[in-house]
Amino acid sequence: MPEYSDMEMIAYTGSRVLEDEKIVFVGTGLPIIAAMHAQLTHAPNLYMIYEAGSLAPVLDMGMPLSVGDTRAARKAMFLKGLCSAFELTQRGFSDYAFIGGAQIDMYGNICSTMEGANYDKPTIRFPGSGGAGAMAANCEKTIAIMALEKRRFVNKVDFLTSIGFGDGSPDYREKAGVMGSGPYRVITNQALFGFDEKTRRMMLLEVKPGLTPKDIQEKVSFELVIPPVVKEMVEPSDHDLSLLRDVIDKDGYFLKKKVQK
């Protein structure tokens, strides 16, 4: 198999998760790359919502560098601004929310606000939700994307920015007044996770070739649900890498970033 980077593996796996004839609300960076790759391969009728207000733009001027990039508005079938974009999700017109974060727990709750015990004096202050909090609350399913590091996969998030299954109770999301079925997939450079239907805990689905479920568990602070059969992650082909490197992110704005070792 050809050599690929961690970011390329994340983007390619994100593409594999997306389906044709669906609508995905994308965040900046790897989610956009994954969605563009899916459009160019197995999901030509995948449509993207951008936070700045566009739905289903034609990205023939290249990859938008942010959700507010004017390229994300080109030939869009809907272009009415931020509030209208989120109204679409509240009306049930988004199958997936595709978001990132700094921390995630076993129930798919995501923190992108801060790290530390004191909100007023955090160890690290992150950029915050952007639109991710509303996306996780209103879109039908949430796909999270981040590097596999123990500091990110924590027992309890330091701040609940984007709602998942809360404390894992069956009616948590309903009582919280949010829509959608909640967390669906967590995509990393070394593993693909889903969620157990009964317990709502994070479940290991696939591991990178050469690794074992034990290797993945050692990089997660909480106990994973590990089924009897765990598949190997599909690796990107030369064609996939060519699309990622030479067509989508030609300047390596996002794909050349490194995962902290």
Q: Which residues are catalytic?
A: 51
Pairwise CA distance, residues 168 & 162, whole Å: 15
Q: How many CB atoms lie within 10 A of CB 49?
A: 30
Nearest to 185 by CA among 98, 118, 115, 255: 98
> Which of 42, 34, 33, 39 has the alpha carbon at shortest distance from 13?
34
Cα 208 → chain centroid: 18
Buried b / exposed e over 165-195, threshold 16 CB at 10 Å, is bbebeeebbeeeebbbebbbbbbbbbbbbbb
Q: How far apart are CA 221 and CA 139, in angstroms?
A: 28
Among 49, 43, 42, which residue's Cα sits nearest to residue 24? 49
User: Are 18 and 43 within 8 A, CB to CB?
Assistant: yes
Q: Contact 68/54 with Cβ under 8 angstroms? A: no
Q: Is 155 exposed, middle or buried (0-12, 13-18, 19+ CB in 10 A)?
A: exposed
